[in-house]
Structure 1
Amino acid sequence: MGTALLYIGNKNYSSWSLRPWIGLRVAGIAFEEKLVPFDMAAGNPAFKAFSPTGKVPVLVDDGLTVWESLAILDHMARKHPEAGLWPEDQALRSRAMAMSAEMMSSFQALRGACPMNMRRPRAPIARTPAIDADVARIEALWSQSLALSGGPFLLGRFSIADAMFAPVVNRLDVYGFETGPEVAAYMDRVKALPAWREWEAAGRAEPWTVVEDEA
């Protein structure tokens, strides 16, 4: 059984790549990393050589190709149940799945106005009602989860839910959103993770720039 290979994009920008990368890294699951950079907002035509969708991330594991961040995390969680990527408690596990699915399908206003950018100087942006609604929902979801589980992460120990929302930590931080104390403390705990610091340092050191870098 070989080590899984995770194809990712630029660490400064690729929010979908960060999700499985940080989840596997925090869980201590071994994988090889292959970074294929893009220098245009639409991605890179070279992705089509290994990606069924022409996008990243993609996991290749024992001949199986898995695409989409949540599917990659779930695949590795089932392969490595000892890593605890899903909460053991059934109710918390179901909440983690619901939160992760909501992250995939929602928050379009925030995601569109505030692309992930590890090297952006912290500064606020013009707010819209749609952006404010997204942030309010995220804050409520995080606060409720922390209260339910007792922390330190959303559902106790770091889980797929935290990995799926990791890029939002960057967005709320560098785009200057003021949050409540519970949410701010949670964000600080995520940013203190060695895996987060490793990714952030690599993203800041990258030479590639796309249009969103000026956002």
Structure 2
Amino acid sequence: MQLYIGNKNYSSWSLRPWLLLTHAGIPFEEVKLRLSVQPESAFKQTLARVSPVGKVPVLVEDDGYAIWDSLAICEYVAERFPERQLWPADVRLRARARSICAEMHNGFGALREHLPMNVELRMPEIGAKVLATQPDVARDLARLVQMWSELLDTHGGPFLFGRFSVADAYFAPICSRLHSYAVEVPPRIATYVEHILGLPAMQAWTEAALAEADFIDFDEPYRQSRG
């Protein structure tokens, strides 16, 4: 399989399936493209050959069959490799895990807009200012704390459903954001964030992101679409 991704410093949607595959030990070939909104760019031209939507991530099988959208890719990987147990075994817990992934997929827009993922960034003053001036971001954060606290209390950690699942891969970019902007969270949540950031796969992503040293000046619509 080939996984087409964007810059590791910025591409939160790419991080989700990449982390899932890497942590689960599922072999794949990484194809990294430099993010660009320009229709004539190599980014757009390359993706046009494998996906009709022209966005990362895209998973391409050996026969050329493509799956795009991070949630669809994660679902496909979980079904193709059931022995990795990437969703909880219990039917209700699977439904709950899918629910929170869908909530992340479609929500938390204020947090994603005002605190975009930038792995190399360390700007606590921005985090404090945003939370003080943007009530929608504060509401998004409160929902995250509520969600994660309930799941960690119910399942005992160290992951949201006890063992690593798609849900943890899906919220990994949020953990990166909380770290970059030094967002204050309760100790239990901080421990979870540290655990996710400390995963060998996550550390490998971070090291590669820092090595890119590639600044991209995103325009606003594209920045908001990066998740």
Query: TM-score normalised to the size of structure 1?
Result: 0.92
Distance in 1 separating the partners of 2:206 and 2:37: 20
1:1-215 paired onto structure 2 within 5 Å: 4-39=1-36, 44-46=43-45, 47-63=47-63, 64-125=65-126, 126=129, 127=131, 128-211=134-217
1:51: how far off?
2.2
Distance in 2 separating the partners of 1:71 and 1:107: 19
Q: Deviations over 1:52-84 (max 9, x none)?
A: 211000001243210000110110110100011
1:41: how far off?
9.1
Q: Which runs of 4+ in 1 moved over 6 A?
A: none
2:2–2:29 Cα contact (<8 Å) kept? yes
1:39–1:209 Cα contact (<8 Å) kept? no
Distance in 2 separating the partners of 1:129 and 1:148: 29
Q: Per the alignment, in what secondary structure is the counterpart of residue 119 of structure 1?
A: coil
Query: What letter corresponds to residue 178 of structure 2 in structure 1?
Result: L
Query: What letter corresponds to residue 90 of structure 2 in structure 1?
Result: D
Q: Deviations over 1:126-179 (max 9, x none)?
A: 221000000000111111111111111001111000111110001111112100
Q: Per the alignment, in what secondary structure is the counterpart of residue 124 of structure 1?
A: helix
Gapped regions of structure 2 (runs ≥ 5): none
Query: What letter corresponds to residue 98 of structure 2 in structure 1?
Result: M
CA RMSD of aligned residues (A): 1.8
2:3–2:58 Cα contact (<8 Å) kept? yes
Give aligned-pair identity as a percent: 46
Distance in 2 separating the partners of 1:209 and 1:116: 13
Distance in 2 separating the partners of 1:205 and 1:122: 19
1:39: how far off?
4.9
Q: Per the alignment, in what secondary structure is the counterpart of residue 7 of structure 2?
A: coil
1:5–1:34 Cα contact (<8 Å) kept? yes
Distance in 2 separating the partners of 1:32 and 1:100: 25
Distance in 2 separating the partners of 1:52 and 1:114: 29
Query: What letter corresponds to residue 55 of structure 1 in structure 2?
Result: K
1:41–1:210 Cα contact (<8 Å) kept? no
Query: What letter corresponds to residue 117 of structure 1 in structure 2?
Result: N
1:57–1:67 Cα contact (<8 Å) kept? yes
Residues 1:13 and 1:141: Cα distance change in structure 2 (over 3 Å) = same
Q: Per the alignment, in what secondary structure is the counterpart of residue 211 of structure 1?
A: coil
1:41–1:211 Cα contact (<8 Å) kept? no
1:122–1:173 Cα contact (<8 Å) kept? no
Query: What letter corresponds to residue 159 of structure 1 in structure 2?
Result: S
Gapped regions of structure 1 (runs ≥ 5): none
